[in-house]
Amino acid sequence: MRAIIPEYLLARLAVAQQPHLARAAEAARKTLAAPRDYRPDRARFELSVDGDALVVEASPAPDRVISDAHNRETLPGVRVRGEDDPPTGDVSADEAFDGLGVTFDFFWDAFGRRSVDAVGGTLAATVHYGDLYDNAFWNGERMVFGDGDGEVFAGFTGSLTVIAHELTHGIVEHSGGLVYRGQSGALNESIADVFGALTEQHHLGHTAAEATWLIGAGIFTDAVTGDALRSMSAPGTAYDDDVLGRDPQPGHMRDYVDTAADNGGVHINSGIPNRAFHLTATALGGHAWERAGRIWYATLTGGFLNPLIDFAGFAAATLQAAAQEYGEDSEEVAAVRAAWVGVGVIDDDQGA
């Protein structure tokens, strides 16, 4: 399961003894115990007039289907909204619908990609999954959202970075996949964070300098001391809370966490490639999806990766993709190289 909340965070919450967190602790235990089965064209038209001619311009449109699990752990649930249906009035269902559309628009506008499968496949989501379910995940065919517990987690459909993150896991799968363990798994998580952040930036029109680079802002209640689940610009600083502890993400290979937990640290060590992308994007400036994002997207979809690739292999692949796109002596290649040097994945004298 490709879930946004790592098990180590839920495990810590599950043993919380504070009376005011009883509901949250129960929710964490239920979330950890819940079964999570994993199973590996529409168009929009714009009319305008050019002289005496009626001009019709067509572009791909998403095909969204939102279902409601009614707090059961059975998928897909009851269909409540399709592409041509009006808003339901259910906040979670309508937020999921809107978030899927924004994510579709980003991948089409930035990279010409039509949906998760690149051929216009349906974007499906289920809301109100489980009772006190503290997570959101991609199960191989749809997005699934819990409602949170109301004490620690406020819910997940309101975070665009969460929605885009989980859908990007689907794009990773359709691009050949990355084994969800160790460094390849951390890259899987990092790529999902990269395009989650870029979706939000594209939606808001933010440049790399203006962006927050936060993943999951808004999923915590006000009781939590923290800004988000992860920070791409400063891994390890997203939260520091009495109950949840301190964000454990490193931003440099010298602090790499060697662990058997969290599928070999996939949510922890993803901070290293996350910071490499942030360094690349801020060095190049402007809108991060236009150059840094294009390099990462070309790396993912261009046949550069094998499912067990490590950080060094991925760094080399991004350099190769940047060179093909912009030239060996380009500032883009220089920025990518400096970023990977900056996080300790490659040496100063190591070339493409």
pLDDT tens-digit readout, 297-324: 999 999 999 999 999 999 999 999 999 9
Q: Is the pTM of this model over 0.85?
A: yes
Q: What is the mean pLDDT of residues 57-67?
A: 82
Where residue 38 falls among pLDDT bands split at 50, 70, 90?
A: low
At residue 54, the pLDDT reads 46
What DSSP assignment string belongs to 218-287?
A: TSB-TTSSBS-SEESSSTT-SBEETTTEE----SSGGG----SSHHHHTTTTTHHHHHHHHHHHHHH-S-
- More confident site: 203 or 27: 203
Identity (one letter) of the amino acid at 7? E
At residue 17, the pLDDT reads 80
Q: Contact at 8 Å (CB) between 275 and 250? A: no
Q: Is the pLDDT confidence value at 133 over 60? A: yes
Q: What's the mean pLDDT when you consider all of the chain? A: 90
At residue 53, the pLDDT reads 54
- More confident site: 327 or 30: 327
Give the C-alpha separation, 129 to 267, whole Å.
22
At residue 166, the pLDDT reads 93
Q: Is the pLDDT confidence value at 32 over 80? A: no
Where residue 50 falls among pLDDT bands split at 50, 70, 90?
A: low
Among candidate residues 275, 316, 312, the one with its CA nearest the CA of residue 295: 316
Where residue 22 falls among pLDDT bands split at 50, 70, 90?
A: confident
Q: Contact at 8 Å (CB) between 183 and 207? A: no
At residue 36, the pLDDT reads 58
Give residue for tokens 């924004």.
102
- Of 12-16, 38-42, 111-115, 142-146, least confident by mean pLDDT is 38-42
Give the CATH fold of the 2-342 domain. Neutral Protease; domain 2 (1.10.390)
Which tokens sit at 116? 């998760």
Tell the burial category of 150 from Cβ atoms under 10 Å away from its Cβ (0-12, 13-18, 19+): middle
Where residue 14 falls among pLDDT bands split at 50, 70, 90?
A: confident
Give the C-alpha separation, 318 to 337, whole Å.
9
Give the C-alpha separation, 156 to 74, whole Å.
18
Give the C-alpha separation, 323 to 332, whole Å.
8
Which tokens sit at 134? 């503290």
At residue 11, the pLDDT reads 80
Tell the burial category of 139 from Cβ atoms under 10 Å away from its Cβ (0-12, 13-18, 19+): buried
Where residue 20 falls among pLDDT bands split at 50, 70, 90?
A: confident
Q: What is the mean pLDDT of residues 152-173?
A: 95
Q: Is the pLDDT confidence value at 336 over 60? A: yes
At residue 226, the pLDDT reads 96
Cβ contacts of 84 within 8 Å, gap of 6 or more: none
At residue 41, the pLDDT reads 40
Where residue 56 falls among pLDDT bands split at 50, 70, 90?
A: very low
Give the C-alpha separation, 231 to 61, whole Å.
31
Give residue for tokens 């402007």.
286
At residue 13, the pLDDT reads 80
pLDDT in tens, 74-106: 999 999 999 999 999 999 999 999 999 999 999
Cβ contacts of 138 within 8 Å, gap of 6 or more: 1, 2, 144, 166, 167, 169, 170
Q: Contact at 8 Å (CB) between 201 and 287? A: yes
At residue 31, the pLDDT reads 81
At residue 255, the pLDDT reads 98
- More confident site: 14 or 129: 129
Q: Which residues are catalytic?
A: 166, 267
